[in-house]
Amino acid sequence: PFYSSCFLGKCPTGWHHYEGTASCYRVYLNGENYWDAVQTCQRVNGSLATFTADQELRFILAQEWDLEEKTFVRKDQRRFWVGYQYVITNRNHSLEGHWEVAYKGSSEVFLPPDPIFGTAMSENENVLCAQLQCFHFPTLRHHGLHSWYAENCYEKSSFLCKRSQTCVDIKDNIVDEGYYFTPKGNDPCLSCTCHNGEPEMCVAALCERPQGCQQYRKDPKECCKFTCLDT
């Protein structure tokens, strides 16, 4: 029999999956400056997050990220580095400038509205880096309340990485394109091929019922292994 892959994990543990962009997202709490955050995201085959549309941003704002309160100055507010930079073009009466995507390879993206300027700005900086502020309280989170800050890139902050969805096996290992694997999920007898980050052409092994056992439970991690429940 063939199985649908819609309920199978497409991100490593700790990452949140969004079907709309076939992407995975993760907040890193270790405070890093913008440039170090860029490197950290690259090491996990990702980049600092940019957003293609409002729907993707709303998904991010609605998530319950696994966050430690002590890492944030205000417990009800969180700020993360994301993949935009604000280029200052005029400092005469007030700061003027425009947002750019930090990575030229990014395809169509949504650009933020005018920012709030951070407190750690220096007089000489002509490029500031983007922080997305979101809120902890569920009512604010579900209404999508948020702010955009243009901040000194050398300030330390948590940050949001984004990477393409990927095949993940039952032991939480990342699987390369074209390889056979048993997907993350509740069926250890499933064997699939990894294609574009999704399990495809999945086939399940058929197991014989355990001998001399009326009631039994399947092992969630090992194919054709059972625990007899007869008393």
| pLDDT of amino acid 218 | 85
23-164 under CATH 3.40.50.1370, yes or no: no
- The owner of tokens 């199985």 is 3
Q: What is the pLDDT of residues 163-175, one digit of tens each?
A: 988 888 888 888 8
Under a CB-based contact definition with an 8 Å cutoff, are residues 197 and 166 in contact?
yes
Stretches in the chain below the pLDDT threshold 50? 1-7, 68-74
Can you tell me the distance from the alpha carbon of 7 to that of 13, in angstroms, rounded to the nearest whole number?
Answer: 15
Can you tell me the distance from the alpha carbon of 31 to that of 47, in angstroms, rounded to the nearest whole number?
Answer: 16
Q: Where exactly are the structural domains of the chain?
A: 23-164, 170-228
Query: pTM, whole model, 2 decimals?
Result: 0.75
Can you tell me the distance from the alpha carbon of 24 to that of 17, in angstroms, rounded to the nearest whole number?
Answer: 5
Strand partners, 169: 183
